[in-house]
Structure 1
Amino acid sequence: MPLRELNARFHHKDQQSFASVYESGRYIGGPYVEQFERQFAVYCGVDKVVSTGNGLDALTLILLAEKELGNLTENAKILLPAHTYIATFLSIIHAGMQPVPVDVSDILLTVDDLKSQIDKVDAIITVDLYGKLVSDEVYAFAAAQQKPVYCDSAQSHGAINSDGKRSGSLARASAFSFYPTKNLGALGDGGAITTDDHVLAAMARKLANYGRDNRFQNSAKGINSRLDPLQAAFLSNRLTLLDQDNLQRSKVAQYYFDHFTNDHVVTANVNFLKHNSWHVFPVFVTDRDHFQDYMMENGIETNVHYPLPPHQQEAFKELNDLSFPQTENLHLTEVSLPCHPLLSPSEIKKVVQVVNNY
């Protein structure tokens, strides 16, 4: 992704923001953080946004806040898709809880994937992988089972469901990352929690600030996780173009769907086009190394999200014996094609031509 070119669109505004923050003398918290939190809350359609140092902290703080409030317990069992980035697993571990991964029957978590474990867990984390929203049916099923749902929304900024609700407003609380490559990316790390629950938001904010009630009194064991005001100002600048950028991403994705004809390069089904912010455009190939080499020889850079699933990582030795066939196949075969707002018509057509000639 051409981050330099994407960010060049905001060069003048960013220079102004830098000067303004620099001259303010306020380098932790303050009006720029508060402004972005208000803007992002309105954008997502939620009451509260709690900004954090990064996306992992955001998801961890949701769980820690729920534990502090008595809504979840130490060692609570949290169901999540095996098909995700390792950060989803790590948030559960860092909160002192137990990940209960389940295989996916397609790409994202479905109701059928939940049924075998739903009675054995205390809560669910959904993951909007690649930018695609988990279906509304998953949330409805979990509500009927009286299981709280939290969402890892780190890749779905701006995605909209069938009822017109945005990513970040569908779960009890959602966690965003503003890593530079995200659809809404800062120029460094950043994250946020979105929720309509004022009590949860207040507790998450308290825990993110050392668990303190005031400057010298702490009533909870918190951490230090705050969004830098400079990054907040940069994010406010970029939020104004997020919908426009997502629309352009969707046009690229639609063109790919309409014009790919190579049976050796498999796309997701057509329903994947809906309710998607297109953080990446995934395809699936049998010989990934060969395909990536071929694409690079033809001047097209690709990526992989992700080579090794969390349950097979050395960090999770206790999970290494588990088997999730669909997840493992997805991780072995996935390749991300260029899908960003600055792709020109000729570049998009070249991707199609090269893919179809593979």
Structure 2
Amino acid sequence: MTVKRWIAIGIAALVLVISGAFQLAMTVASASFSDMIDLDGGDFRQEIMEVGSNGQIAVIDLNGMIMDTGADDGLFASGGYNHRTFLQKLETAMEDTMVDGIVINVDTPGGGVVESASIHERVVRAQEEYDTPVYISMGGMAASGGYYISAPADYIAAHPATMTGSLGVIMDSINFSELAEEWGISHEVIKSGDYKDMGSPTREMTDDEEAILQSMVDDMYEDFVKVIVDGRDMPESEVLELAQGQIFTGNQALENGLIDGLGDLEHTIEHMEEQLELDATVIHYTNSFGTGSIWGLMAEAVSGDNLTLSHLEELVTHSSAPRLMYLYQE
């Protein structure tokens, strides 16, 4: 690496440190201790959005693809959706006896079947075990897994232009067998059973393998349909007509009974206050100061091409294996 590049990296790192320190200082200066309550572990904090005379509403954001990447919110964590932290926020809110209701602000194309199911389970538990109503405010997109986690909510609101729906399951994988053959690349596999390398990217899928994977998709599809039937109290025949993978606008979703009203986050909070007869203090469960994303950028600047190649390798490795997804794909 040349001296000029080291100097450039050093300058970039210094700028990031100064920027992070300034951001931190401005955050502390603009919020009093009554407006910012650090929770144990420091994974997220609570900020007061609105002060009321009685009751409390918790607002939790769900932004990005619903995937558990295994990444921790450590020093070099990057921004975006963190499954563990989101579940922690939801559990903290439902277990807090001061919280009268929870509003989840959703903006996601969906994600993993298992991750979506874990959120859905906690929404239902908040309602049944803690008697805490859960409302959903849909942002720009709340598709597939985003709708799966919304279905059991007591009230769902969306913007007229929100993209929602995409009710169904998808499983895809990359197949580069023809490309490998063209380049003279062979992939030798020793396996204990005929289906051990099912979905391999280096060979064509057999009819039997396709049938097995299709049965898995069908199984999860039945679960998705049941979630909507139970959550929205809709006839199964009606849900099956809607659950063909198509996307809906907020207006269309309202017409089809998939949501309860049109409006933004503020509307959803106000509706909850009206229904619960509250003049609530609204608490936003938000991420910590954001140093993770800053340090992540610094790590990328210092690591250069090695970090990019590492991410690319991880993407290819994970993408080559079929995975059940509640995901809207354009």
TM-score by length of 2: 0.26
More strand, by proportion: 2
Q: Please identify the structure whose Cα radius of gyration is greater.
A: 2
Which structure has more relative contact order (CA 8 Å, sep 6+)? It is 2
